[in-house]
């Protein structure tokens, strides 16, 4: 574990809490505004630029046969909505992962969830010949859930039960195993490699809207659980023993968080592919704004995720016009400098 700073525990002092609350509210309002701006940009910009007025017309009073309106309604609206939902799910999942493993380098990929989903998608492509994003959906979900069951189950066996370190190590071990199997398939089956290499980078493009409506209930349940889990995560951050002493049911709390992570990650992976980086960076940004209180970190992560993912998507559309760079690739290039800048500023990092 990284060295915990003395201020890691939620401070009990009232003024400090109020300040965090105030900053949290301001940040939340600002982020909501940013989401609106980025969503508008996502509707306007792309291979073809469309004026804000035309976007508005396309949304409220579409003219049949107008090419711009068609682009907005059929391509950019689904894409924007998927970015919003996927980003929120990834951001929340990342905050939960870092809280439950007490490890600031945890991301949604860590529990093996992304690789479980990827393995299932590979199986679908290679074994069953599935070839569309809507077809991948259930495989990704099943793979994510299976990975979580295996990892959590293996980590809870043994002497000490589930500890954050065991959870992280078992997750990484599962990831390695799944990656090996994926590699075997990819090295022997060129057609599968051709499909998989595009799915694997993560993108918002060419996703039909009914994928979103299928996934949405899971995301909503996951988000509600995530927002409710802040108190549990605050207790867990103090260590299992202290959390138990505070009357927290540690095992049940951790299980709740893991279930929420599966719902969120499974949905996000089936929507946009395995983009884990959003989930790594966003909680750090949130922590830099509001401090160590997980109730605020989770909330801000839910709002920051969409901003980052959509921004990456818009940038990806603009840098290589008329073609585009996948959002999953742009996210890392935008996010890494942010992460490094944050990390440089920090003295001690609360896990």
Partner 1 sequence: MSAPVLDLAAARRDVAAQGLRANRRRRGRRRTLVTVVLAAAACALSVTALMLGDYRLSVGEVLGTLAGGDEAPARFIVMELRLPRLALGVLVGVALGLAGALFQSVLRNPLASPDVIGISQGASAGAVAAMLFGGLTGAWVSLSALVGGAAVGLLLYAAAWRQGMAGHRFVLSGIGVAYVCASVVGYLLTRSDLREAQAALLWMTGSLAQADWGLVSTLALALAVLVPAVLLVARGLDLLLLGDEQAGSLGLRPEATRTAVIALGVGLACVATAAAGPVAFVAFTAAPVARHLLGDGTLALLQSALVGVVLVVGADIVAQHLLPAGLSVPVGVVTGAVGGPYLIWLMASGRSRTT
In the complex, the residues that contact partner 1 under the rule CB under 8 A are 1-3, 103-105, 107, 110, 154-155, 157-160, 163, 165-166, 168-170, 172-181, 183-184, 186-188, 190, 193-194, 197-198, 200-201, 276-277, 280-281, 284, 325-326, 328-333, 335-337, 339-340, 343-344, 346, 348-349
Nearest of 219, 200, 197 to residue 85 by alpha carbon: 219
Angular region, 102: left φ>0, alpha ψ -120 to 50, beta rest = left
Rounded Cα–Cα distance for residues 327 and 332 (Å): 9
Rounded Cα–Cα distance for residues 177 and 257 (Å): 24
* Shortest Cβ 79–partner 1 spacing (Å): 19
* Shortest Cβ 60–partner 1 spacing (Å): 37
Cβ distance to partner 1 smaller for residue 169 or 242: 169
* Shortest Cβ 214–partner 1 spacing (Å): 26
C-alpha 110, offset from chain centre: 12
Cβ distance to partner 1 smaller for residue 33 or 341: 341
Rounded Cα–Cα distance for residues 307 and 32 (Å): 9
Residue 122: count other Cβ atoms within 10 Å of its Cβ: 27
Cβ distance to partner 1 smaller for residue 200 or 301: 200
* Shortest Cβ 156–partner 1 spacing (Å): 8
The angle, 0 to 180 degrees and rounded to 10, between the axes of the packed helices 77-101 and 250-272 is 150
3-state secondary structure of 322: coil
3-state secondary structure of 317: helix
* Shortest Cβ 276–partner 1 spacing (Å): 8
* Shortest Cβ 102–partner 1 spacing (Å): 11
Residues 6+ apart with CB under 8 A from 42: 76, 79, 80, 83, 310, 313, 314
Cβ distance to partner 1 smaller for residue 228 or 336: 336
* Shortest Cβ 198–partner 1 spacing (Å): 6
Cβ distance to partner 1 smaller for residue 104 or 230: 104
Cβ distance to partner 1 smaller for residue 50 or 126: 126
- Tokens in use for 37? 């701006």
Q: Which residue has the tokens 């499909």?
A: 195
Cβ distance to partner 1 smaller for residue 54 or 326: 326
How far CA 278 is from CA of 66, 102, 202, 268, in Å, comes to 36, 18, 11, 11
Rounded Cα–Cα distance for residues 81 and 87 (Å): 10
Cβ distance to partner 1 smaller for residue 278 or 299: 278
* Shortest Cβ 197–partner 1 spacing (Å): 5
Residues 6+ apart with CB under 8 A from 115: 109, 147, 174, 175, 178, 179, 182, 274
């Amino acid at each position: 574990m990284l060295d915990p700073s003395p201020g890691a525990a939620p401070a009990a002092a009232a003024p400090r809490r109020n300040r965090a609350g105030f900053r949290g509210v301001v940040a939340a309002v600002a982020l909501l505004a940013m989401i609106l701006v980025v969503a508008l940009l996502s509707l306007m910009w792309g291979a073809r630029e469309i004026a804000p007025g035309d976007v508005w017309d396309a949304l409220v009073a579409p003219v049949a046969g107008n090419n711009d309106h068609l682009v907005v309604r059929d391509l950019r609206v689904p894409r924007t909505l998927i970015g919003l939902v996927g980003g929120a799910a990834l951001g929340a999942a990342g905050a939960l992962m870092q809280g439950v493993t007490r490890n600031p380098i945890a991301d949604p990929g860590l529990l093996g969830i992304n690789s479980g989903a990827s393995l299932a998608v590979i199986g679908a492509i290679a074994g069953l010949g599935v070839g569309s994003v809507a077809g991948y959906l259930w495989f990704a979900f099943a793979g994510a859930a299976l990975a979580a069951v295996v990892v959590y189950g293996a980590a809870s066996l043994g002497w000490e039960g589930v500890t954050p370190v065991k959870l992280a190590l078992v997750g990484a071990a599962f990831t390695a195993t799944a990656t090996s199997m994926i590699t075997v398939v990819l090295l022997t089956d060129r057609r599968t490699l051709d499909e998989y290499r595009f799915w694997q980078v993560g993108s918002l493009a060419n996703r039909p809207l009914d994928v979103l409506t299928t996934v949405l209930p899971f995301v909503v349940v996951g988000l509600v659980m995530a927002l409710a889990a802040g108190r549990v995560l605050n207790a867990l951050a103090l260590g299992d023993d202290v959390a138990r002493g505070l009357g927290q049911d540690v095992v049940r709390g951790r299980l709740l968080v893991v279930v929420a992570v599966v719902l969120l990650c499974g949905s996000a992976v089936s929507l946009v592919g395995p983009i884990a980086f959003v989930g790594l960076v966003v909680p750090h940004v949130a922590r830099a704004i509001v401090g160590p209180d997980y109730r605020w970190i989770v909330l801000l992560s839910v709002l920051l995720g969409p901003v980052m993912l959509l921004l990456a998507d818009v940038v990806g559309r603009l840098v290589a016009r008329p073609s585009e760079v996948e959002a999953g690739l742009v996210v890392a290039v935008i996010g890494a400098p942010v992460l490094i800048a944050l990390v440089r500023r920090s003295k001690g990092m609360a896990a």
